[in-house]
Chain A
Amino acid sequence: QVQLQESGPGLVKPSETLSVTCTVSGASISSYYWSWIRQPPGKGLEWIGYIYNSGSTIYNPSLRSRVTISVDTSKNQFSLSLSSVTAADTAVYFCARRLSGSYSERYFDYWGQGTLVTVSS
């Protein structure tokens, strides 16, 4: 059974860097596309980026300048860093798995439960 679990500090100060980690069990981090998706309170879903092939990345153009996604294959984990945060980055951050096949298969089939990160001084 594939499981994803996010972890990270619940509170980050403005202008600092937000860091969240996703631990994957039941699937190899070296396969599939691993993604971060966020959801501000009461709002919709925003894709942040993918990591795949143990280190290749694709980012949402709107966040690209501030985002880094990295992977630790030895721990079967991947991480998100978002720099220069503001209150607008307050959201539940989800990690999710995407298959690596054709366009029809580029859905997210497994998700973590999400972790709320609040940006506040």
Chain B
Amino acid sequence: DIQLTQSPSFLSASVGDRVTITCRASQGISSYLAWYQQKPGKAPKLLIYAASTLQSGVPSRFSGSGSGTEFTLTISSLQPEDFATYYCQQLNTYPLFGGGTKVEIK
């Protein structure tokens, strides 16, 4: 079975920082990866799909890259509303989510 490992699990950052989150798959999944943002008490929100395609309405400070087994989500300039937990999800075979990365205010 494919495993998805996100790193770091937790990061502390300041407004304006550039933030990068990594998602590693235990085997190649081409570009079949999505990223979600979840705020406390809310449902996840789709940010990026197909590894690098920005979902409609998502700010351009979010970007995704990668293929095969290593993927990254980058926030170019962290905004107050971006403090949340981020999950990757592989789109191949059965849906599987990474363990999450919580982004907190430094």
Chain A residues close to B by CB (< 8 Å): 35, 37, 44-47, 58, 60-61, 94, 96, 98, 103-109, 111-114
Inter-chain CA distance A105–B50, complex, in Å, is 7
Q: Which residues of B contact A (CB under 8 A)?
A: 30-32, 34, 36, 42-46, 49-50, 53, 55, 87, 89, 91-92, 94-100
| Smallest beta-carbon distance B52→chain A, Å | 10
- Give the nearest-CB partner of A6 in chain B: B43
Given A45-B87, A46-B97, residue A108 in contact with residue B44 (CB < 8 A): yes
- Interface residues of chain B: helix, strand, loop or mixed (majority): loop
Instruction: State in angstroms the CA–CA spacing of A45 and B90 once bound together.
Output: 12
Q: Judging by beta carbons under 8 Å apart, are B87 and A103 in contact?
A: no
Interface pair B43/A60, CB less than 8 Å apart: no
Given contacts A35-B95, A113-B42, A114-B43, contact A107 B89 (CB under 8 A): yes
When the two chains form their complex, are residues B46 and A44 in contact, meaning their CB atoms are under 8 A apart?
Answer: no
Smallest beta-carbon distance A24→chain B, Å: 14
B49 touches A104 (CB 8 A): yes
B43–A103 CB distance below 8 A: no
A98's nearest neighbour on chain B, judged by CB, is B95
**Chain B, Cβ-Cβ closest to A104:** B50
